[in-house]
Amino acid sequence: MASQVLVAANRGPLSYVLAADGGLSARRGGGGLVSGLSAALAQQPEALWICAALSEADREAVRRGVAEPGVRMLDIDPTVYDDAYNGIANSVLWFAHHHLYDSPRTPVFDAEFRRQWASYVAYNRAFAQALAEEAADGACVLVQDYHLALVPGQLRELRPDLRIGHFTHTPWASPDFLRMLPDDVRRELVGGMLGADRLGFHTREWASGFISGAAMDDATGVAEPQQHGVFHTGYGERRFTEVTPYPLGVDADELRALAHRPEVDDKLAGLRAEVAGRKTIVRVDRTELSKNILRGLLAYRELLTVHPEWRGRVVHLASAYPSRQDLAVYRAYTESVAELAAEINAEFGTADWQPVLVSVQDDFARSLAAYRLADVALVNPVRDGMNLVAKEIPVVSEAGCALVLSTGAGAYAELREDALTVNPYDVTDTAEALHAALSMPEAERAERTKRLAAAATALPPAQWFTAQLADLRG
Ligand code: F6P
């Protein structure tokens, strides 16, 4: 039966595991996008989620015709998938949107890049075709993220009757970074996005960045950039693509319930024993270049150097769980994080005090326990679409936490008033903010946390999704 509401995302709500006896079992999919969308779609039982098969077990499930209701997995050729996901989405688009290029060396757009770009186009086309097959007349389609930037345009060519939305979970590259892309690729990228009726971003800044980037290039067909979108002449007619911020927030009730399960209580007891009554600075991230974990550790080292009164009185709990380990640059970053943490422990540690406790397990229960224990939350990305950790910690922390927040996080737009805000490149500024956060009087901390939690829960996932759907239906 054709669907009225469809979602397309690289990751799906579940992934499969292949047992030694050949049996397949389904597990919940990973990542922030998946948790947000899963919560939102729980209220849209008729919706269809189209995703890629990410592993051999997923591909086997597709081949065997194993199907969960509301999910269609696409078995994309593994080489095409690897080029599209690792080669283009995570090594080119991710780097451009997060300003991660190290310009003396990267990017390099050569013949290999062209081959990978062709795969990215094909991977997007597989999604566009599946959506075209599955969508009912006039259905609403919500495409997710930079992996699928070309889908809106490809789908519009196939099914002009559909209402097409696209949401970007990352920032949008500033004009200087967008201009690094080869001209034809940049136009294809922006033109693909403009196939949508509506484009969503986490903040006004990223939305405006898209509008100005699209307008700087005549060949994208953008005739009139407006504050809330662009008129353009792509797809054979003059059309308006609306560009709107939908700042994703957290669901307070759900998060607090998750944070008070017995499993989390056990982890909390373990952490309390390790911390032994000291103050805590908590961070939780994927080991991701944009999260700025190294400068966070350097700031902690500077704190212990410049404010020696904190030695022995604070513990930095850093969860940095592995991510994108297929990419050499991520593996090297992960090693650097471990090395720097070890250096700090060697420099300042004593027989009964380990200054940094790094956890590399993707252990959500332990992360929630750390949230509950947090005196200070450190969220210092160089650039980040939103950063839900900045929103989750104030909701869950027990005694109230002081939030040290980078100006580069999307969450800065909503949380800046009650956070201690820092330039993510300025290690000294960050060290001083950590000192101020640790020194903040309890009453002030509690008041700020209350306001941070209110701002963080303003647009929980289900409302975030239904707001987009309502706007798309227009
Ligand atoms: O922040 C953008 C994003 O795509 C999220 O939506 C997602 O949770 C995260 O990056 C993880 O990326 P990956 O799917 O590559 O692990």
CATH code for the domain in which residue 297 is found: 3.40.50.2000
Closest CA to 186 of 174, 199, 200: 174
Q: Give strand ranges (E) for 80-126.
A: none
Q: Are residues 184 and 168 in the same domain?
A: yes
Ligand 1, closest atom to CA 85?
15
Q: Which two tokens stand for residue 313?
A: 């009185």
Q: Is the pLDDT of residue 217 over 90?
A: no
At residue 235, the pLDDT reads 86
The residue nearest atom 15 of ligand 1, judged by CA position, is 324
CA 250 to chain centre: 13
What percent of the chain is modeled with pLDDT above 90?
Answer: 91
Q: Which residue has the higher pLDDT, 36 or 174?
A: 174
| From 7, 10, 11, mutation site for ligand 1 pocket: most ligand atoms within 8 A of C-beta | 11
At residue 180, the pLDDT reads 97
Q: Are residues 242 and 314 in the same domain?
A: no
The residue nearest atom 5 of ligand 1, judged by CA position, is 33
Q: Is the pLDDT of residue 329 over 80?
A: yes
Q: Are residues 176 and 260 in the same domain?
A: no
**CA dihedral sign, ordered 386, 387, 389, 390:** negative
pLDDT in tens, 74-106: 999 999 999 999 999 999 999 999 999 999 999
Whole-number Å distance between alpha carbons of 408 and 420: 13
What percent of the chain is modeled with pLDDT above 70?
Answer: 100
- Identify residue 458 by its one-letter amino acid code: A
Contact 141, 155 (CB under 8 A): yes
Q: Are residues 449 and 467 in the same domain?
A: no
pLDDT in tens, 356-403: 999 998 899 999 999 999 999 999 999 999 999 999 999 999 999 999
Q: Which protein residues touch ligand 1 with a CB less than 6 Å away?
A: 11, 31-33, 145, 169-170, 323-324, 385
At residue 67, the pLDDT reads 82
Whole-number Å distance between alpha carbons of 48 and 236: 29
CA of 31 to the centre of ligand 1 (A): 6
- How many CB atoms sit inside 10 A of residue 474's CB? 9
Q: Are residues 196 and 144 in the same domain?
A: yes
CA of 32 to the centre of ligand 1 (A): 7
Name the domain count of the chain.
2
Whole-number Å distance between alpha carbons of 45 and 51: 17
At residue 7, the pLDDT reads 97
Task: Report helix, strand or coil for 256.
Answer: helix
Q: Are residues 423 and 367 in the same domain?
A: yes
Ligand 1, closest atom to CA 146?
4
Who's near 379: CB < 8 A, 6+ residues apart? 283, 387, 389, 390, 393, 403, 404, 405, 406, 409, 411
| From 7, 15, 33, 82, mutation site for ligand 1 pocket: most ligand atoms within 8 A of C-beta | 33
- Identify residue 270 by its one-letter amino acid code: G
Q: Mean per-residue pLDDT for 218-224?
A: 73
Whole-number Å distance between alpha carbons of 357 and 411: 26
Ligand 1, closest atom to CA 89?
15
225: enclosing H helix or E strand: strand 222-226
CA of 340 to the centre of ligand 1 (A): 25
Ligand 1, closest atom to CA 32?
8
Q: Which two tokens stand for residue 296?
A: 């966070």
Q: For residue 26, give its domain range.
A: 3-248+462-473
Q: Are residues 149 and 189 in the same domain?
A: yes
Exposed (0-12), middle (13-18) or buried (19+): which is 421, by Cβ within 10 Å? Answer: middle
Q: Is the pLDDT of residue 124 over 80?
A: yes
Q: Are residues 9 and 83 in the same domain?
A: yes
At residue 168, the pLDDT reads 98
At residue 53, the pLDDT reads 97
The residue nearest atom 12 of ligand 1, judged by CA position, is 31
Q: Is the pLDDT of residue 221 over 80?
A: no
Ligand 1, closest atom to CA 31?
8
At residue 469, the pLDDT reads 96
Whole-number Å distance between alpha carbons of 57 and 150: 27
CA of 274 to the centre of ligand 1 (A): 31
Q: Is the pLDDT of residue 220 over 80?
A: no
Q: Mean per-residue pLDDT for 245-269?
A: 97
User: Looking at the whole model, is its pTM more than 0.85?
Assistant: yes
Instruction: Tell me the average pLDDT of the chain.
Output: 96
Q: Are residues 258 and 231 in the same domain?
A: no
Closest CA to 55 of 94, 29, 91, 34: 29
Q: Are residues 171 and 281 in the same domain?
A: no
At residue 284, the pLDDT reads 97
Res. 337 pLDDT band, cuts 50 70 90: very high
Contact 243, 210 (CB under 8 A): yes
212: enclosing H helix or E strand: helix 204-215
CA of 245 to the centre of ligand 1 (A): 19
Q: Is the pLDDT of residue 121 over 90?
A: yes
- How many CB atoms sit inside 10 A of residue 302's CB? 18
Q: Are residues 56 and 138 in the same domain?
A: yes
Ligand 1, closest atom to CA 90?
15
Q: Is the pLDDT of residue 473 over 90?
A: yes
CA of 455 to the centre of ligand 1 (A): 23
CA of 97 to the centre of ligand 1 (A): 13
Q: Are residues 7 and 131 in the same domain?
A: yes
